[in-house]
């Protein structure tokens, strides 16, 4: 299988390292020619994860996503959700339809308020059996440091999904496979919003006790949203016909759901937590974006989930408060005073 990667941020760089370390050459679309030249000469990314060094014999570098699609059987999309539409623009629709697309996008496309698979369906007649996802919990920085990490690969066909997962799995990366394409994506989107909220309360100088209560309630709120959206893997502690001594069937306590929420809310590597911390300290959204200089997916996601939930009508007061703080200029202190009243 010839794998391509579109995106040279920290996440795209980490994934490129995993695949090439497994002796799979890749076609890699990076930001610009300067990044190409730097990788070829210095063997590391100019802008992200400088400690990660590549065997450049394994890299075919370009700046045009159409080249990667033309050369590969499977293409990883690893750009922020706000830039996916631009990245796909101008590519022959038949190329897109005939490839396996692996989404490493942890957000909703803000232009249409859609998951990537739904956008591909509506604009390219792309079918779900060719769509796969890579979700966490997994910080790019820890992959770079070769810390043991787990990634969950989702797809309708478990055998095909396992074949893709095998291209990434290695001594420091355990691959888990499930079939919950919609659930893992919505969980990844929601956890970014809650992590942003965790950062806000840190900036407001709440303590660890309150933060634990907030995250516990956020986990319950997330489960309620997923259940309302029709996701099945919600029951905790229930594993049908699988003993605890073996790898269990996925449920809400699995790493890709609850685990990703926890690490994104607590880790200092979390850009959403960092962004929220600045909001809690009084930064404007624009100032926080300039200071962070990276995309915090929870910002756009809070608005997208607010709009999507007009259809689902799930009870998500924590998300709504974060949305109002970010998009409707509700003071952070006032927003979390409201949240305090409904936590259990």
In order of start, what are the domains of the chain with their CATH numbers? Answer: 3-179 (3.40.50.720), 183-340 (1.10.1040.10)
- pLDDT band of residue 236 (cuts 50, 70, 90) is confident
Q: Tell me if 255 sits within 8 A of 136, measured CB to CB.
A: yes
Question: At residue 282, does pLDDT exceed 70?
Answer: yes
Averaged pLDDT, 187-197: 97
The tokens for 241 are 């016909």
Averaged pLDDT, 235-264: 80
Q: What percentage of the chain carries pLDDT values higher than 70?
A: 97
- pLDDT band of residue 234 (cuts 50, 70, 90) is confident
Task: Look at residue 246 in the predicted model and tell me its pLDDT.
Answer: 60
What sign has the CA pseudo-torsion 187, 188, 189, 190?
Answer: positive
Task: Calculate the alpha carbon distances from 195 to 8, 48, 325 in Å.
Answer: 24, 22, 14
Q: Tell me if 151 sits within 8 A of 175, measured CB to CB.
A: yes
CA-based nearest residue to 342, from 204, 190, 218, 203: 218
Task: Look at residue 138 in the predicted model and tell me its pLDDT.
Answer: 82
Please provide the average confidence, as pLDDT, over all residues in the chain: 94
DSSP letter, residue 230: T
Question: At residue 71, does pLDDT exceed 60?
Answer: yes
Q: How many CB atoms lie within 10 A of CB 280?
A: 24
Task: Look at residue 294 in the predicted model and tell me its pLDDT.
Answer: 82
Task: Look at residue 249 in the predicted model and tell me its pLDDT.
Answer: 72
Averaged pLDDT, 65-70: 97
Task: Look at residue 202 in the predicted model and tell me its pLDDT.
Answer: 97
Q: What is the CA radius of gyration of the chain?
A: 20
Task: Look at residue 293 in the predicted model and tell me its pLDDT.
Answer: 84
Cα(88)–Cα(9) distance, rounded to whole angstroms?
17
Cα(26)–Cα(58) distance, rounded to whole angstroms?
6
- Angle made by CA atoms 130, 132, 135, in degrees to the nearest 5: 175
Question: At residue 245, does pLDDT exceed 60?
Answer: no
Q: Tell me if 181 sits within 8 A of 156, measured CB to CB.
A: yes
- Which residues share a beta bridge with 96? none
- Angle made by CA atoms 3, 170, 102, in degrees to the nearest 5: 30
Question: At residue 256, does pLDDT exceed 90?
Answer: yes
Question: At residue 285, does pLDDT exceed 90?
Answer: yes
CA-based nearest residue to 288, from 196, 213, 218: 196
pLDDT in tens, 126-163: 999 999 999 989 888 888 888 999 999 999 999 999 99
Q: Coil, strand or helix: which one is 246?
A: coil
DSSP letter, residue 173: E
CA-based nearest residue to 15, from 49, 47, 66, 57: 49
Q: pTM for this one?
A: 0.94
Q: Tell me if 12 sits within 8 A of 79, measured CB to CB.
A: yes
Tallying the residues shown for the chain, one arrives at: 344
Cis, peptide link before residue 137, omega less than 30° from 0: yes
- pLDDT band of residue 247 (cuts 50, 70, 90) is low
Residue with the bigger pLDDT between 289 and 144: it is 289
Task: Calculate the alpha carbon distances from 301 to 113, 181, 297, 320 in Å.
Answer: 9, 18, 6, 11
DSSP letter, residue 255: I
- pLDDT band of residue 242 (cuts 50, 70, 90) is low
Task: Look at residue 238 in the predicted model and tell me its pLDDT.
Answer: 76
Task: Look at residue 187 in the predicted model and tell me its pLDDT.
Answer: 96
Averaged pLDDT, 305-317: 96
């Amino acid at each position: 299988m010839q794998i391509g990667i579109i995106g040279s941020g920290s996440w795209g760089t980490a994934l490129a390292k995993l695949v090439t370390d497994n002796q799979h050459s890749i076609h890699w679309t990076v930001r610009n020619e300067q990044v190409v030249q730097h990788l070829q000469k210095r063997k590391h990314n100019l802008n992200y994860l400088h400690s990660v060094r590549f065997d450049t014999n394994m890299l075919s570098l370009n700046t045009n996503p159409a080249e990667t699609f033309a050369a590969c059987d499977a293409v990883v999309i690893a750009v922020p959700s706000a830039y996916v539409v631009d990245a796909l623009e101008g590519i022959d629709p038949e190329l897109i339809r005939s490839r396996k697309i692996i989404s490493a996008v942890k957000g909703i496309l803000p232009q249409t308020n859609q998951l990537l698979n739904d956008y591909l369906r509506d604009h390219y007649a792309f079918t779900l059996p060719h769509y796969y996802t890579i979700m966490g919990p997994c910080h790019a920085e820890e992959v770079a440091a070769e810390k043991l990490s787990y990634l969950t690969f989702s797809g309708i066909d478990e055998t095909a999904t396992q074949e893709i997962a095998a291209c990434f799995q290695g001594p420091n990366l355990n691959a888990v496979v499930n079939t919950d394409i919609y659930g893992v994506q919505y969980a990844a989107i929601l956890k970014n919003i809650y992590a942003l909220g965790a950062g806000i309360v840190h900036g407001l100088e709440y303590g660890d006790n309150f933060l634990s209560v907030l995250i516990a309630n956020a986990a319950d709120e997330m489960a309620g949203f997923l259940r309302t959206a029709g996701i099945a893997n919600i029951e905790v502690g229930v594993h049908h016909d699988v003993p605890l001594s073996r790898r269990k069937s996925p449920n809400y306590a699995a790493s890709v759901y609850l685990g990703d929420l926890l690490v994104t809310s607590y880790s200092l590597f979390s850009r959403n937590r960092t962004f929220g911390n600045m909001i809690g300290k009084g930064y404007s959204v624009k100032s926080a974006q300039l200071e962070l200089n990276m995309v915090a997916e929870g910002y756009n996601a809070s608005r997208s989930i607010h709009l999507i939930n007009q259809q689902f009508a799930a009870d998500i007061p924590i998300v709504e408060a974060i949305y109002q703080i970010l998009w409707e200029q509700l003071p952070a202190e006032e927003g979390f005073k409201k949240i305090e009243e409904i936590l259990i």
